């Protein structure tokens, strides 16, 4: 079942730079998809369009039946509640502990403490950090911090997990652990995962659906297992 559809999407920024040209992409529900490409290939723009940080200049983006490009600014939060987003720099609150960081996502939606607690514990269990509830981000390793960020992204049971270079700051071992964790979530919970990366090894090892972008164009759309180290 199709979950995400990019129809002739072009994105031109105000400064005149064209990041994506006439992009046509389809991603299935429950898919684990890598988006790869060099610098300036349009990977980040691709994710920003997905979570509606940016609007396409032309074309249409459909996510779970919702026309993302038609969404008004005041309603963007409704889309974001169905998404989990993970970044390279973790984006955790430094003055809040692990539990508070994950709970924050539910707190700002106005959920009660009673509702929040079991959800946070479940998410932290899934990422293997249940024993570090009271630790602060600065006390954790990079990999652990990224796990907290992933727990925060999945605590609300999102339909889609968008990961923008989540392993960019991690060593190869930790990187692999994080990707395996994402694959695990994808498999166990059925969450669709889109992961932007330029880590060759990960993409080669995982043998998943790969969308390769080059200079803002779709270079190739590899089905599961089709990708062999080509352009990276």
Partner 1 sequence: MKFFRLLGRSVRDAFKSVGRNFALSLASISCIVVTLTIIALSIIISYNVNNFSEELKKDLTIVAFVSNEADETDLDKAKKEIEAIGNVESVTFKDKSEIMKEMMDEDDAFKTAMGEWDAESNPLQHTYLIKVKDIEKIGETATTIKNLTNIDVVKYGEGMVDQLVTVFKVIQKVAIVAVVALVLMTLFLIVNTIKLTIFSRKREISIMRLVGASNFAIKLPFVVEGMVLGFIGSIIPVFVMIYGYYSLYNYFGGKLFTDLIKLVKPEPFIYFASIIVMVIGILVGMFGSGRAVRKYLKV
| Ranges within 7-46 binding partner 1 (CB under 8 A) | none
Write the CA distances from 25 to 35, 79, 98, integer angstroms: 11, 20, 36
Binding window for partner 1 (CB under 8 A); candidates: 7-15, 34-42, 102-110, 219-227: 102-110
Total residues in contact with partner 1, by rule CB under 8 A: 23
When asked if residue 100 is in the footprint of partner 1 (CB under 8 A), the reply is no
Q: Which residues have a Cβ under 8 Å from the Cβ of 27 and sit 6 or more positions away?
A: 2, 3, 4, 5, 33, 192, 194, 209
Q: Which is nearer to partner 1, 129 or 155 (CB)?
A: 155
CA atoms within 13 A on the CB side of 42: 25
Left (φ > 0), alpha (ψ -120 to 50) or beta: where does 37 sit? left
- Write down the least CB distance from residue 224 to partner 1, Å: 29
> Where does the chain have alpha helices with state H?
43-50, 76-80, 98-107, 113-126, 142-154, 172-188, 200-206
Are the C-beta atoms of 62 and 4 separated by less than 8 Å?
A: yes
Q: Does 214 bind partner 1 (CB under 8 A)?
A: no
Q: Which of residues 148-167 bind partner 1 (CB under 8 A)?
A: 152, 156
Nearest approach, Cβ of residue 158 and partner 1 (Å) = 9
104 part of the interface to partner 1, by CB under 8 A? yes
Site string for partner 1, 65-94 (x = CB under 8 A): --------xx--xxxxxxx-x-----x-x-
> What does the binding site for partner 1 look like in residue numbers (CB under 8 A)?
51, 73-74, 77-83, 85, 91, 93, 104-105, 107-112, 152, 156
């Amino acid at each position: 079942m199709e979950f995400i559809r990019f129809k002739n999407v072009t994105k031109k920024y105000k400064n005149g730079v064209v990041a994506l040209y006439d992009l046509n992409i389809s991603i299935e529900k429950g898919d684990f998809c890598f988006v790869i490409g060099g610098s300036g290939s349009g990977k980040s723009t691709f994710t920003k369009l997905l979570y509606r940080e940016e609007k396409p200049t032309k074309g249409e983006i459909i996510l779970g039946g919702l026309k993302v490009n038609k969404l008004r600014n005041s309603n963007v939060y409704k889309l974001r509640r169905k998404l989990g987003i993970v970044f390279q720099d973790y984006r955790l609150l430094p003055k809040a502990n692990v539990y508070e960081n994950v709970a924050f996502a539910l707190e700002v939606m106005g959920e009660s403490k009673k509702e929040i607690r079991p959800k946070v514990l479940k998410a932290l269990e899934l990422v293997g950090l249940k024993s570090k509830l009271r630790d602060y981000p600065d006390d954790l390793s990079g990999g652990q911090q990224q796990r907290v960020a992933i727990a925060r992204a999945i605590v609300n049971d999102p339909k889609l997990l968008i990961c923008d270079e989540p392993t960019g700051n991690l060593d190869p071992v930790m990187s692999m652990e994080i990707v395996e964790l994402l694959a695990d979530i994808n498999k166990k919970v059925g969450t669709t995962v889109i992961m932007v990366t330029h880590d060759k090894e990960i993409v080669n090892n995982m043998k998943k659906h790969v969308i390769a972008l080059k200079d803002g164009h779709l270079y190739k759309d590899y089905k599961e297992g089709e990708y062999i180290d080509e352009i990276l």
